[in-house]
Amino acid sequence: MLKNILSGSDCASCKICCIFDKYDIWETPVLDDDLKALVSERFPEVKFVGKDGGWLFRMEEAPDGLYYCPVLDSNTGCMLGDEKPFDCRIWPYRIMELGGRQVISIASICPTMYKKPLEELCAELDKNGLADKIFAHAEKHPEIVKPYEDGYPILRVKSE
Ligand code: SF4
């Protein structure tokens, strides 16, 4: 979804958004029922936990103290390809709620996007109606909306 601003090669060489620590484990993607069913069929060993009407991958802490997404292949990246969760397709944009309003913010942990000028990050949200698509998806799947986290720059506020 962000192919014109975030190259596949940048993502392939990074994968930071698919590996979590105890401080950002809340960032794990939310799956809907259909995607959970698809993942269960392809990867029967993957386990889930329910959250707010959606599903999170159950991740066990690895010996290095990190939590690796169970559908991350260390060589090839995400094994879900274009069927990855919506959260992952819009990463590092995040949809959050602040004071009853939905906002689109950006995660500073993405080394490629976070160094881009703010105006480029905002302009990307207008291209092809990306911000509208994010808000529309959140309308159908409110489980993907996370509480606002301090330090996440807000790029867009949903109009009332
Ligand atoms: S589903 Fe794919 S893109 Fe999303 S965190 Fe897991 S490996 Fe990464």
Q: Indicate whether 78 and 94 sit together in one domain.
A: no
Residue 1 lies in a domain: no
pTM for the structure as a whole? 0.91
pLDDT confidence of residue 127: 92
17 Cβ contact partners less than 8 Å away, ≥ 6 residues apart? 27, 88, 91, 92, 107, 109, 110
Q: Indicate whether 13 and 76 sit together in one domain.
A: yes
CB of 69 shorter than 6 A to ligand 1: yes
Average of per-residue pLDDT across 129-158? 95
CB of 155 shorter than 6 A to ligand 1: no
pLDDT confidence of residue 74: 86
CB of 80 shorter than 6 A to ligand 1: yes
- Of 83, 110, 125, the position where a domain reaches its end is 83
Type and span of the H or E element at 120? helix 118-126
When computed from its CA atoms, the radius of gyration of the chain, rounded to whole angstroms, is 15
Give the rounded percent of residues in the chain with a pLDDT score beyond 70. Answer: 100
Q: Indicate whether 122 and 153 sit together in one domain.
A: yes
Residue 2 lies in a domain: no
Instruction: Tell me the pLDDT of the chain averaged across its residues.
Output: 93
- 97 CA to centre of ligand 1 in angstroms: 23
Q: Indicate whether 63 and 95 sit together in one domain.
A: no
Q: Indicate whether 60 and 13 sit together in one domain.
A: yes
Domain of 136, in residue numbers: 89-157
- 69 CA to centre of ligand 1 in angstroms: 6
Residue 4, pLDDT above cutoff 80 = no
Task: Name the domain count of the chain.
Answer: 2
